[in-house]
Amino acid sequence: MNTQAIIQDSIDKDDFNECRESAPKIQAMTQKTDALATVAELAADVFASFYQPAPQVEENIDPQYLLNKKLIERLSQSASYHHLREETVNDKLATTITTATITEKIIQTIPPELREEIARLQEVQEALENAEETEMPTLQAEQETLTAAIEEQVDEASGHIRAAMKDAQGEVNEFKTAMHGFSLAGEGKIDNLPLQGKLKLFQLLKANPKIQRVMQFAGRSIRIALNTQRQRTIHPPTTTIGIQLGNDLTKTLPSEFGYLADDDTEILFYLKFVEGTLLNYHQIGHENVGQGPIILACDESASMTNPVAELFGGVEKLTREEWSKGIALAMATIAKRQKRDFCLIHYASTGQQQVATFPKGEASIEEITATIQHFFNGGTDFSPMMTKAATLITSSQWDKADCIIISDGLTHIPPDDIAHWQKVKAERKFRSYGILIGTVQGQKLLQTICDSTFTLLDMFTEEETALKTIFSI
């Protein structure tokens, strides 16, 4: 008799084996036979039920695995199951995350005494195959009692299973959103990672709440950035990409005007004009978007650990620093798309400056996570940061860069430093933008070094204007 509740061929089994070998958590769980003797088969069934496009339940199953079958059947009856499958079908990573979460919850839910009932059910089933006619009623009655007990345990486990699916849905959604933040590492690099590598990335996010929050917010910011870039490319058409029907005489093909050369066909030209069926060039426009490098200076003073809101951008307790790092990753993504060099200057007190450069916006996963985790936790001194940025901009690689400065307040910039900055701006013709988070302290000072400044006292109402400006550079 069959030991799997979901029908599985050799390819299905290979898929699950890859999942188990890549996920230490599933490896450990499938060895917990003291908690549930059939746990390895259960994990394989859970995996198959979420990964296969059209999973089918096995009708003829060994009594020892009846609990697995009942659990899988109950699992598939939930609306949450079908919703979660939208994320997991043919997606090994999402299915592996789901399998680990749900199987773990089931193991925690099944009481120890149920193992004895399952073992006894198997004994009764074997006894029925060789029983005398007089023994049949007693064995059948016991079989029904044991089956009912298993059904009762499945009923009790149903709520826990639904909760586990909700948890799995949240983990999968959060991870996929966070993956947008790694887009500057190259979509191909993430997609081409083996399952084990993707799971390590998942565990990194789970183990480091800061990275997880930044990546979740970065995913949202990147979508806004790319949408802003798309919206700003609606301009006068300059490039012909094909032919379409219309009545724009400035785009009409020369051959169409041939109708006007003959009195017999002239009326056809006017008819096609009225109907809008003249052959016209199909043209689109491309704006010369900013192609200079991008420099972003991120304040890492201690006060940047204050939250921007209890819940913002779908992320709980996102700090000012994490917000700025999410914006930095979005800007780096724009740089990558447009093959522009990107530089992030971490700055705080005097002597606390660190520069991270990403040629053409390219960065490894390690560089991205290092950028997120770096934090000086110092004071706020603009002068060394301005000196560093000005020095970069005077070099050929960073000529005509766009510079963005993010801070949560400043009190002083020496006049000589302001004068030097303005001199370099005039000579190198670069643009600068300033963003103050949660304060207006230093707004007038910031205006002396920036072409545009934004104060974000209320992130919910003022953020959009600021982002549309800086994301359109």
Q: Residue 177: count other Cβ atoms within 10 Å of its Cβ.
A: 19
Q: Give how many domains the chain has, as a whole number.
A: 3
**43: which residues sit within 8 A by CB, 6+ positions away?**
16, 20, 26, 29, 30, 99, 103
Both 26 and 150 in one domain: the answer is: yes
Distance CA 188, CA 455 (A): 37
Is 207 within the bounds of a domain?
no
**59: which residues sit within 8 A by CB, 6+ positions away?**
none
Residue with tokens 């740089």, as numbered in its chain:
335
pLDDT for the residue 238? 62
Distance CA 385, CA 399 (A): 17
Both 296 and 401 in one domain: the answer is: yes
Distance CA 216, CA 151 (A): 40
Both 271 and 401 in one domain: the answer is: no
Cα torsion through 346, 404, 234, 243, rounded to 10 = -40
What single-letter amino acid sits at 202?
A: F
Quote the pTM value: 0.70
CB 95 within 8 A of CB 103: no
Positive or negative, the CA dihedral 195, 200, 206, 210 is: negative
Both 249 and 165 in one domain: the answer is: no
Beta strands in 329-456 (DSSP E): 342-347, 353-358, 402-407, 431-437, 452-456
Both 167 and 266 in one domain: the answer is: no
| Residue 395, domain CATH | 3.40.50.410
Of 420, 425, 450, the residue nearest 435 (C-alpha) = 450
* pLDDT tens sequence for the chain (473 residues): 789 999 999 999 999 999 999 999 999 999 888 878 889 999 999 999 999 999 999 999 888 888 899 889 989 988 899 999 999 999 999 999 999 999 998 888 887 777 777 778 778 877 888 887 788 888 888 888 888 888 887 887 788 888 999 999 998 988 887 777 676 655 556 677 888 888 888 888 888 989 988 988 888 888 888 787 766 554 556 667 778 888 888 889 988 888 888 888 888 888 888 888 889 888 766 544 456 899 999 999 999 999 987 767 777 789 999 999 999 998 998 898 888 999 999 999 999 999 999 999 888 888 999 999 999 999 999 999 999 999 999 998 998 899 999 999 988 999 999 999 999 999 998 999 999 998 888 999 999 999 999 988 877 888 888 888 888 87
Is 213 within the bounds of a domain?
no
Both 125 and 85 in one domain: the answer is: yes
Domain stop point among 231, 251, 284: 284
Is 262 within the bounds of a domain?
yes
Name the residue range of residue 168's domain. 10-180
Both 51 and 153 in one domain: the answer is: yes
pLDDT for the residue 288? 46
